Amino acid sequence: MLPKARPIWQGKRVTVSRPLAAIILAAGQGTRMKSQLHKVLHPIAAKPMLLHLLDSLEILAPQRQIVVVGAQREQVEAAVAGRGVDVAVQSPQLGTGHAVQQAEALLAGFEGNILVLYGDVPLVSAGTMQAMLDALIDTVTAVVLGFRPADGAAYGRIIARNGVIEKMVEYKDASAAERAVDLCNSGLMAVRSADLWRLLARVGNDNAAQEYYLPDIIGLVSTDGGVAHVVETTADEVAGVNSRAELSAMEALWQAARRAAAMADGVSLIDPASVFFAHDTDIARDVTIEPFVVFGPGVRIASGCNVRAHSHIEGADIGESCEIGPFARLRPGTILGAHAKIGNFVETKKAVFGAGAKANHLSYIGDATVGAKANIGAGTITCNYDGFFKYQTRIGAGAFIGSNSALVAPVSIGDGAIVGAGSVVTADVEADALGLARGRQAVMPGWAKRFRAMMTARKTK
């Protein structure tokens, strides 16, 4: 199980003994994703993988951050704009050691610790990164992050004694005894800058692929009489993504951890496995969430709310003790005051509801302000778009909108006003007035009986 979705030191900066830089490798082709989108930009919980990693890294306050890509540089640059991240290109792609070297020029003059991370291993926590840095003491040249999966498969193995690495070996080159070792190499490392560049300069490509492999520096550390340590974490934390199936599995890991965190924080999930959170979903205690609820980004829910089944909520700020759903859709810009109710098959967008306001059935309320304790009847729509521009509807406090009404914006319904059912309102209705906009009903006594007789005679003839 992953750590909680919230970082270990949320909101705090961690002081390290030396300046910190991070090199994030993301030059893989990602061909198994079969996508025009760069692999590390595929989302988990509605946030790109790369940004998950950068958010965790930010807690350690790195001085420099460099992402090494092989192609689609412009996509990565757009995703990290404003975050102080540099992008380097590895072309041609000659292995992980060669990829790290592409960051050397950008780190010219930097003296400190360097974390080597992977853009497709997004859930490694700030706590684990800090543990790696803590292990990089003066007598240690390099630190490798290891893990013990249920099935070591083709992972490289780490042979270590009391945390000191004696040997690292790729699976294809390992003996039967070495393959039996369950400590595997995640690929993540911490190395001082001066040591990293001098070691990489000596790495050769005398292998079948003729590539330069980052793990080879550990063998050079041993050759030089130095020491490399291993720090261990869980297999889930260093799980990688190379395919759509692995992306789905990563999403499942994240969601399971977030559901557990929500329940531990006092949120009731009736059927946890059917609820899906976004990376920034903020839910207070004593909120109940029924089955099959999906949260998009930007949702805050205050205490005491009940979110009923099959609702979709995105970009909404929901006040205390609100009732949502079932089958409600709250779109970005929705703001609900305390005790507001949005019922079944109601859609809202850029709509602000005052305290106690209600739209209980089958309505669309968009680009609107709804006053406190206003009641919107079934089948009501705010006609906010003319094909070119959006317009505002204002519904005053305590107003009552009858069923099957169309409010053609821009329009204002005053405080306490009533709109008769079936009205098409195109002009403002003043406070406490009755607004009616429908054809006058005509009743013709006996007409239906005469009609049936006439038609029956015609059919018989």
**Which tens digit of pLDDT belongs to each residue from 197-209?**
999 999 998 887 8
DSSP output for 84-101: TEEEEE-SS---HHHHHH
Structure tokens at 36: 């025009």
Alpha carbons 187 and 212: distance in angstroms, whole number: 14
427 SS3 class: coil
State mean pLDDT over 268-294. Answer: 98
Domain covering 244-435: architecture = 3 Solenoid (2.160)
Alpha carbons 213 and 66: distance in angstroms, whole number: 19
Question: Tens digits of per-residue pLDDT, 33-79?
Answer: 999 999 999 999 999 999 999 999 999 999 999 999 998 999 999 99
Sign of CA dihedral 231, 234, 235, 236: negative
Catalytic residues: 361
Determine contact, residues 53/121, Cβ cutoff 8 Å: yes
Q: What is the pLDDT of residue 154?
A: 85
Alpha carbons 270 and 160: distance in angstroms, whole number: 45
455 SS3 class: helix
Determine contact, residues 365/350, Cβ cutoff 8 Å: no
**Residue 299, CA atoms < 13 Å, CB-side half-sphere:** 23
Residues of the chain with CATH 3.90.550.10: 20-238
Structure tokens at 352: 């602000």
Residue type present at position 259? R
Burial class (CB within 10 angstroms; exposed 0-12, middle 13-18, buried 19+) of 318:
buried
Alpha carbons 344 and 363: distance in angstroms, whole number: 9
Structure tokens at 412: 């204002």
Q: What is the pLDDT of residue 186?
A: 96
Q: What is the pLDDT of residue 12?
A: 41
Is pLDDT of 11 > 90? no
Give the lowest-confidence range in 144-148, 153-157, 214-218, 346-350: 153-157
Beta bridge partners of 168: 158
Question: Tens digits of per-residue pLDDT, 74-86?
Answer: 999 999 999 999 9
Residues of the chain with CATH 2.160.10.10: 244-435
Q: What is the pLDDT of residue 152?
A: 85
Q: How confident is the model at residue 245 (pLDDT cuts 50, 70, 90)?
A: very high
Determine contact, residues 97/103, Cβ cutoff 8 Å: no
Structure tokens at 12: 């705090």
State mean pLDDT over 305-331. Answer: 98
CA nearest to 239, candidates 180, 151, 157: 151
121 contact partners, CB below 8 Å, separation of at least 6 = 53, 186, 187, 188, 238, 239, 240, 241
Q: How confident is the model at residue 195 (pLDDT cuts 50, 70, 90)?
A: very high
Is pLDDT of 29 > 70? yes
Q: What class has domain 20-238?
A: alpha beta
The phi, psi pair for 400, rounded to 5°, reads -125, 120
% of the chain with per-residue pLDDT over 90: 89
Alpha carbons 289 and 276: distance in angstroms, whole number: 11
Q: How confident is the model at residue 172 (pLDDT cuts 50, 70, 90)?
A: confident
Q: What is the pLDDT of residue 5?
A: 31
